[in-house]
A and B are shown apart, each in its own frame.
Chain A
Amino acid sequence: MTRPLNGGVTAGRPQSAAPGATTVEMRGISKWYSNGVMANDHVDLVLNPGEIHALVGENGAGKSTLMSILCGLEEPTDGEIRLDGQTVSFSSPVSASEAGIGMVHQEFKLFPSLTVAENVAFRAEPTRLGMFLSRREARERVRELADRYRLGVDPNAKVGQLSVGMLQRVEILKALHRDAQVLILDEPTAVLTPQEVDDLFAVLRELRDAGRTIVVVTHKLREVMAFSDRITVLRDGRSIATLTTSETNPAEVAHHMTGRDVDLDGRYNAGSPAGVALRVDGLFVQNELGVMVVSDANFSVRHGEIVGIAGVAGSGQTELIESIAGLGGHSSGVVELDGTDIHQLSAAERRRKGIAYIPEDRRGVGSAVTASVSDNLAMGFHRRAPLRKGWRLDRAAMKRHSADIIEAFGIRVSHAKVEAGTLSGGNLQKVIVGREMSHDSAVLLVDQPTRGVDIGAIENIHGRLRAYRDRGHAIVLTSAELSELFALADRILVMYGGRVVAEYPRADATEAKIGLAMAGITQQTLTGSEETT
């Protein structure tokens, strides 16, 4: 089924477009799966050359399916794709790539032991005499592409030694090497630090100005507003709206995404802290390799207070939190819960004493995705009443327990016996948050609570964290998003190189101060006192 073209779409190629620039039209795209799920329902998407187009929507809105269809991974049940007005059909990613469509996936597909040039050239190797690999030519082509788009990648570097941000650029180079006119990036900022995000956008603008079409699949509104030229919103498998970024605002986009009005940032409201709940004194943590990952951490968290920990990824936040929970590597120092030292206790004993923990990796650590929602909700609290009755598990109590949490935390699931892995990221996070909040533990440790979670669920989880604090619990929160810390924390610590290098009450904290401290620049280093790394 084909819908009529919007007038002017194909004609509107900007002057800046390079030769070969492509207009992509996806018309009436539908995709049913054999289990009856309709992932795309007559979706329209038009991509003009020389634009950065944001494809936004909540998890399960059909973004990934639509992009899988565009890059040839899946075939649509209905609808058609046109490139410059020509109807095409892609039977595989190879045919899409030949037509100039390249995709940078969320998980990078690279060989760590090979160089950048070798990775980029793989399966599209320049050859001499039709059969011999020409490494030199591959290197030069990669260098030329990297220079032209200011990617700053060394063709001779071993991929295994590159940072995540650089790996992403290698993936972009791979697509460019195959002459992609249309570049699709799936959640490209999920793995990047704030600085790397800015650098990525600079690269994308560079590519856009050269006439290429960029599609960024994302659900981060702030970024959408910052970098895109146009926005297409999907919801429940349908295209809801296509907006021009300069003429819209975050609230409108969020409204289209969720179908309701969303309180985006959730105003910060101050807590009313009471006595000290958690005290950490001189805590050192070594990881399995013997590397000191947390050095001399000293801080306390009061009842009714959220303490946020800022820092670039790998500054020791996760290890600090794990160590307080009784997990992770070897540690020394004092960890006090309500005045009693718990440093010698096992993770199970700490749980029992009142330490709950929401880990960063919700599928790998925070849940068993092949177990039922009900089992996931019980785990960790199954050895105490009411889930345990005498020597055995009380199945009826487990059922009530899961029904209560599902209801209280608004987890969207048809039945508590459903496998947890079938839930969306936000929904699964609600399962974990619900479980960890349901036992009134004095201290709640929260590591990256909303990474990769829908806006609707973020709002929900933020509200719950505030309410939990207001009931007198102490919360330690880490986040890669400064905005999240500003929305929640009553006090912000900054970690750098395993140390807590700065501490600001909410009122004194500014993005500039924290940003500097995250880079290791603090009052002490400025005045020249020693800082070991």
Chain B
Amino acid sequence: MRAWWPSLRPMLIALGIALAIGAALMLISGSNPLQAYGQIIVGSLGPNGWAATLSLAIPVIGCALAVSLPLRAGLINLGGEGQLVGGGITAVVVGTYFADLPFPLSLILAIGAAALVGAVIGFVPAIMENKLGVPLLISSLLLSYPIVAVTSFLVRFVLLDKGTGLPQTETLPAAFQMPQFGKVTGALFVLIVIIAVVIVIDRMLPAGFEIRMTGLNRKFSGYSGVAVSRMTLWVMAAGGMIAGVTGALVVTAFPFRFVDGALITPAYVWTGLLAAMLARANPVGAVVAAVFFSALQVGGAAMERETFVPRELSSILQAVIIIVLAGAIALNARKKQKVA
């Protein structure tokens, strides 16, 4: 408790500052801040809100972890969109062409194939950096564009559900639909397994220790015997794999099909990236931040519905909270370094 309180305190202060700025904005525009904030909390965590928060949080957490694992080694994985979409379309392809598979096997195969494809998409930019010297930051980002475009083509022309007139695939067979347990989707359990694996790697495995040390000082890591360029490959592949599985989790949930753009428009990848960056690659912190941002988005939408706060103000409020938080975290890290 003592250990994390000093790092938590500035964040709470930052949150308070952000809320005060938001309140001031709302007072200026003639809304009631108390009512608005109440709606954010009720809307995101209340009896009618938590399920929506959860269903948004699942892909955001997945994307956050897909960034945080490579970020631990000092690598920025900007290829989340390609990996997410690649995983999603792979799961749909498996569901379409192996439609007769029985229940647990069907999902295992779909998710497994999505993991593999995501891993390959993560792997390619790492190879390009190691062998050709193309910066990972650029190649991982640019690789997403052709993948998203090819997927879009597949959805609109090859796998199109002609009946609906919308750019979406046909509904997946029942065996490929993630089972529900009351209001909780089975995807949550898959995600919990991923979270657990990432935490175990990070905290307990020698490899996780090497990843962390590489992130802190690459030269030190190489000097100590770590093959840093080989680690780049594996860590990027692992990040891509997590994003790929996340894509599969999205398409196997309601509406059980790949809707073109549905993985891109909600900006799961960028919210996740933000969460991982704010948590400075700490996986637990990334999950917490991802849940927080998801709740903020869902609550913000609820606030729009229930109060007279305009839509733009909700976005401004979210942005203010994120910027102040980011500032507080950066300041905190700098202060720590200075005292050190």
Q: List the interface of chain A (C-beta within 8 A of B).
A: 35, 325-327, 346-351, 357, 359, 364-371, 375, 378-380, 382-383, 388, 391-393, 419, 421-422
Contacts of A391 in B (CB 8 A): 205
Q: A392-B204, A393-B205 are in contact. Are A379 and B339 (CB under 8 A)?
A: no
- CB of A331, distance to nearest CB on chain B (Å): 16
Of the residues A327, A347, A378, contact of B209 by C-beta under 8 Å: A378
- CB of B296, distance to nearest CB on chain A (Å): 30
Q: List the interface of chain B (C-beta within 8 A of A).
A: 204-206, 209-210, 212-213, 216-217, 219-227, 336-337, 339-340
- CB of B222, distance to nearest CB on chain A (Å): 7
Question: Contact between A348 and B217 (Cβ–Cβ < 8 Å)?
Answer: no
Question: Contact between A367 and B220 (Cβ–Cβ < 8 Å)?
Answer: yes
Question: Contact between B225 and A346 (Cβ–Cβ < 8 Å)?
Answer: yes
- CB of B287, distance to nearest CB on chain A (Å): 21
Question: Contact between A368 and B209 (Cβ–Cβ < 8 Å)?
Answer: no
Question: Contact between B223 and A365 (Cβ–Cβ < 8 Å)?
Answer: yes
Question: Contact between B227 and A346 (Cβ–Cβ < 8 Å)?
Answer: yes
Question: Contact between A327 and B223 (Cβ–Cβ < 8 Å)?
Answer: yes
Contacts A351-B225, A388-B206, A393-B205 known; list 11 others, CB within 8 Å. Answer: A327-B222, A346-B227, A347-B223, A348-B227, A366-B223, A367-B220, A368-B220, A375-B209, A375-B212, A379-B213, A382-B210
Number of CB contacts from chain A to chain B under 8 A: 73
Name 18 interchain pairs, CB-CB below 8 A, sorted by A: A325-B223, A326-B225, A348-B225, A351-B224, A351-B225, A357-B223, A364-B220, A366-B223, A369-B216, A371-B213, A371-B216, A371-B217, A379-B209, A379-B221, A382-B209, A392-B204, A393-B206, A419-B336
Contacts of A382 in B (CB 8 A): 206, 209-210
- CB of A367, distance to nearest CB on chain B (Å): 6
Question: Contact between B209 and A380 (Cβ–Cβ < 8 Å)?
Answer: no
Closest to B208 in A: A393
- CB of A422, distance to nearest CB on chain B (Å): 4
Question: Contact between B217 and A367 (Cβ–Cβ < 8 Å)?
Answer: yes
- CB of B176, distance to nearest CB on chain A (Å): 34
Contacts of B340 in A (CB 8 A): 419, 421-422
Contacts of A378 in B (CB 8 A): 209
Question: Contact between B209 and A35 (Cβ–Cβ < 8 Å)?
Answer: no
Contacts of B216 in A (CB 8 A): 368-371
Report the separation of the CA atoms of residues A375 and B221 in the bound assembly, to the nearest whole angstrom: 12
Closest to A422 in B: B340
Report the separation of the CA atoms of residues A349 and B216 in the bound assembly, to the nearest whole angstrom: 23
Closest to A352 in B: B225
- CB of B220, distance to nearest CB on chain A (Å): 5
Report the separation of the CA atoms of residues A349 and B223 in the bound assembly, to the nearest whole angstrom: 12
Question: Contact between A375 and B213 (Cβ–Cβ < 8 Å)?
Answer: yes
Question: Contact between B217 and A368 (Cβ–Cβ < 8 Å)?
Answer: yes
Which 5 A-B residue pairings sit nearest by Cβ, starting from the closest?
A348-B225, A380-B224, A368-B217, A368-B216, A422-B340
Closest to B200 in A: A392
Closest to A380 in B: B224
Contacts of A365 in B (CB 8 A): 219-220, 223
Report the separation of the CA atoms of residues A370 and B336 in the bound assembly, to the nearest whole angstrom: 10
Report the separation of the CA atoms of residues A422 and B337 in the bound assembly, to the nearest whole angstrom: 9
Question: Contact between A347 and B217 (Cβ–Cβ < 8 Å)?
Answer: no
- CB of A318, distance to nearest CB on chain B (Å): 12
